[in-house]
Amino acid sequence: MATPSLPSLYSVCSPPNNDPWHYETTLYAKGFSAIGGVDEAGRGPLAGPVIASCVVLPAERPTAFYKDSKVLSSTKREELLFYLQTTDAVIGIGKVVAREIESFNIHQASLVAMQRAVDDCKEKFNYKKIDFLLVDGKFQVPLPLPQLPLVKGESKSFSIAAASIVAKVTRDKMMADYHKAYPEYNFIKNQGYPTKEHRLALKEYGPCPLHRRTFKGVREYWQEGEQASLSEQRKMW
């Protein structure tokens, strides 16, 4: 199949009149065979990784109504993830840890996490071709694939919404595990976000290895020697 030009794709994928399966339907009708929805969780926290997911849903319209993970309760997210895992969907996960976030920046780290999620999805797909990406946000994933960024994509595409659920549940579980090692920060409750309780814990205990030390709200509590060390490292990046 000859890949349509990007201008052609953008014109065909016009606003879907609130149908979250419109983009997938349009792309399958144009001959694409495996469409990945991509989203991330964890841009805003002071601690922990950025997690991204790529989800290739079966070509038939989903019977579950996947929605933006931010508008769902934790129980509903878990239910939808469990259902997703019983289908023929292919799910990839990408992670960028705190030290990498410091060496990139949070924007680039999110894109790298998405790239890793797509690569992981390809591997689980037995390296069959994922031939189009629907990406939440304004920016494309740094991969040579046709793709369409969608602002607030979780409300416009079931594939992106499913990816947002996977990324959020995966990250929350990681932060719950990290809580066992660093209970003073209460990561099981705040997931690393800058809540008042978390900021007070940082003031009292300082940052742990999971904290993003270049972020405002964390860097203020570094020891001077640690800050000098990072400055030296940056000269090598």
The string of pLDDT tens digits covering residues 122-142 is 999 876 789 999 999 999 999
Query: To the nearest whole percent, how much of the chain has pLDDT over 70?
Result: 86
Task: Let me know if domain 6-176 sits in CATH 3.30.300.30.
Answer: no
pLDDT for res 222? 75
Average pLDDT over residues 12-31: 83
Per the rule left: phi > 0, alpha: psi between -120 and 50, beta: everything else, 173 is alpha
Query: To the nearest whole percent, how much of the chain has pLDDT over 90?
Result: 81
What are the tens digits of pLDDT across the range 105-117?
999 999 999 999 9
Pinpoint the residues of the chain covered by CATH 3.30.420.10.
6-176
Q: Which tokens in the block code for residue 215?
A: 């972020």
Contacts of 62 by beta carbon, 8 Å cutoff, 6+ apart: 21, 87, 158, 162
Q: Which tokens in the block code for residue 141?
A: 């994933």
Kindly list the distances between the CA atom of residue 4 and the CA atoms of 8, 102, 140, 181, 235, in Å, as whole numbers in the listed order: 6, 38, 17, 50, 43
What are the tens digits of pLDDT across the range 51-84?
999 999 999 999 889 999 999 999 999 999 999 9
